C-alpha cells in the first residue's frame, strides 16, 4: 500500500492513534496518583518484593508514557509540514510493544500469585494461569521481533503481521478471562467459610469482574476491528492502552485494602456479641465466638486475595 492510499483517511489510522495516546496519558496520570497513595498510606505493611514490583511496574509504565508522548510529538509537531512522516514507524514505536510485553508480564505474575494463595497452592489452577501468562508474553515479543525493523506504519497492515496482532489479542482475551474467572470462582467458594460476610465477597467479586470485563472489552474490540477493518490502526492503538489498564488495576486493588478492612470492622461492630456470665467469670457465647471466627476468616481472605497475592 502506498503512502497516498495511507493518507486518504487519517480518522482510523493516525487519528485513532492520537486519541489512544490521550487515553494512555490520562491512565498514566491516574496511575501516578494511585502510586502516591500506595507509598503514602499502604506500602508500609507490604513485603519488600511487593514494593519493588509496584515500583518496577510504574517505572516501565512511565517509560511507556514518555516514549508514546515523544512519538506523537515527533510526528505531529517536529514534522508538522512533512506529510509523509505521518507514515513513519521507527524504533520508538517498536519499543512501546516491548514495554507492553514486560508490563503485562509483571502484572499477570502478580495475579497468578494471587490465584496461588487464594486457592491454597492449587498447582493446576495456578499452573494454567502461569502458562497462559508466558504464552501472552511470548506472542507479544514475537510481534515486537517481527515489527522492530519496520520503517512505515503501512508495514503493519500486511497479512502476516495482522495474524500476529490477532493472535496477541486472542491470547490476551483468553488469559485475562481465565484469571478473572478463576479468582471469582475461588472467592465464591469462600462464601461458606465466611458465613454472613457476603458483602466482602461481593465487593471483591465485583472488582475482579469489573477489571476483567474492561480489559476483555478492549481486547474484544481490537480483535473484531482487526478482522472487520484490517487496514486501520484500531488494533495498534488499543494495544498501547493495555499496560495502563493493568497498572491501574493492581494499584487500585492494593490501595483498597484499608477501605475493605474498615468496612469489615464496621460490619462486625453492628453484629451483637452476647457473653455468658458465671459468677465472676465471663465466657463468650457461641454467637460471639462465631463472629470472631468469621472476622478472622474474612481478614485472612483479604490477606490471601490482596496482600500475599499481589
DSSP structure class, residue 197: -
Q: How many residues are present in the chain?
A: 310
Residue 299's domain is classified under what CATH number?
1.20.1070
Tell me the C-alpha distance between 201 and 298, whole Å. 9
Q: What is the pLDDT of residue 50?
A: 85
Query: Is 97 among the domain residues?
Result: yes
Domain extent, residue 197, equals 3-269+285-307
Q: What is the pLDDT of residue 277?
A: 36
Tell me the C-alpha distance between 166 and 182, whole Å. 24
Quote the pTM value: 0.80
Domain count along the chain: 1
Say which residue the cell 509523509 belongs to.
Answer: 84
Tell me the C-alpha distance between 221 and 23, whole Å. 16
Query: Is 279 among the domain residues?
Result: no
Q: What is the pLDDT of residue 194?
A: 54
Query: Is 276 among the domain residues?
Result: no
Tell me the C-alpha distance between 100 and 89, whole Å. 17
SS3 content of the chain, % helix, strand, coil (to 5): 80, 5, 15
Instruction: Give the three cell numbers for residue 8.
Output: 486518504
3-class DSSP assignment, residue 231? coil
Query: Is 73 among the domain residues?
Result: yes
- The per-residue pLDDT string of the chain (310 residues; one tens digit each, 9 = 90 and over) reads 445 445 557 787 888 888 999 999 999 999 999 999 999 888 887 888 888 889 999 999 999 999 999 998 998 889 888 888 888 888 888 899 999 999 999 999 988 988 998 888 899 999 999 999 999 999 999 999 999 989 888 888 888 888 998 899 899 999 999 998 998 888 777 666 555 455 666 777 777 777 778 888 888 888 888 888 887 888 888 888 989 999 998 898 888 877 666 665 555 454 444 443 333 434 343 444 444 444 454 455 545 555 544 4
Query: Is 277 among the domain residues?
Result: no
First to last CA, the chain: 46
Query: Is 274 among the domain residues?
Result: no
Query: Is 291 among the domain residues?
Result: yes
Query: Is 275 among the domain residues?
Result: no
Q: What is the DSSP string of 46-70?
A: S-HHHHHHHHHHHHHHHHHHHHHHH
Tell me the C-alpha distance between 269 and 255, whole Å. 23
Amino acid at each position: 500500500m502506498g503512502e497516498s492510499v495511507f493518507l486518504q483517511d487519517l480518522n482510523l489510522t493516525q487519528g485513532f492513534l492520537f486519541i489512544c495516546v490521550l487515553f494512555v496519558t490520562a491512565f498514566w496520570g491516574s496511575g501516578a496518583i494511585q502510586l502516591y497513595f500506595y507509598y503514602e498510606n499502604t506500602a508500609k505493611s507490604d513485603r519488600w518484593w511487593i514494593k519493588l514490583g509496584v515500583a518496577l511496574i510504574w517505572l516501565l509504565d512511565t517509560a511507556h508514557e514518555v516514549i508514546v508522548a515523544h512519538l506523537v510529538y515527533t510526528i505531529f509537531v517536529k514534522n508538522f509540514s512533512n506529510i509523509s512522516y505521518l507514515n513513519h514507524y521507527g524504533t520508538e514505536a517498536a519499543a512501546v510493544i516491548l514495554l507492553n510485553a514486560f508490563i503485562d508480564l509483571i502484572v499477570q505474575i502478580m495475579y497468578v500469585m494471587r490465584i496461588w494463595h487464594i486457592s491454597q497452592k492449587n498447582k493446576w489452577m495456578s499452573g494454567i494461569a502461569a502458562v497462559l501468562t508466558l504464552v501472552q508474553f511470548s506472542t507479544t515479543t514475537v510481534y515486537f521481533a517481527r515489527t522492530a525493523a519496520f520503517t512505515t506504519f503501512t508495514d503493519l497492515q500486511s497479512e502476516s503481521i495482522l495474524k500476529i496482532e490477532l493472535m496477541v489479542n486472542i491470547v490476551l482475551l483468553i488469559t485475562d478471562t481465565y484469571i478473572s474467572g478463576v479468582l471469582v470462582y475461588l472467592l465464591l467458594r469462600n462464601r461458606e467459610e465466611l458465613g454472613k460476610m457476603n458483602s466482602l465477597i461481593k465487593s471483591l467479586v465485583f472488582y475482579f469482574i469489573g477489571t476483567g470485563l474492561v480489559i476483555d472489552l478492549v481486547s474484544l474490540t481490537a480483535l473484531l476491528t482487526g478482522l472487520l477493518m484490517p487496514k486501520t490502526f484500531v488494533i495498534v492503538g488499543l494495544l498501547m492502552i493495555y499496560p495502563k489498564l493493568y497498572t491501574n488495576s493492581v494499584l487500585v486493588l492494593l490501595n483498597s485494602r484499608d477501605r475493605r478492612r474498615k468496612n469489615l470492622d464496621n460490619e462486625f461492630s453492628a453484629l451483637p456479641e452476647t457473653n455468658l456470665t458465671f459468677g465472676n467469670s465471663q465466657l463468650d457465647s457461641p454467637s460471639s465466638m462465631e463472629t470472631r471466627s468469621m472476622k478472622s476468616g474474612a481478614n485472612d481472605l483479604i490477606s490471601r486475595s490482596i496482600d500475599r497475592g499481589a
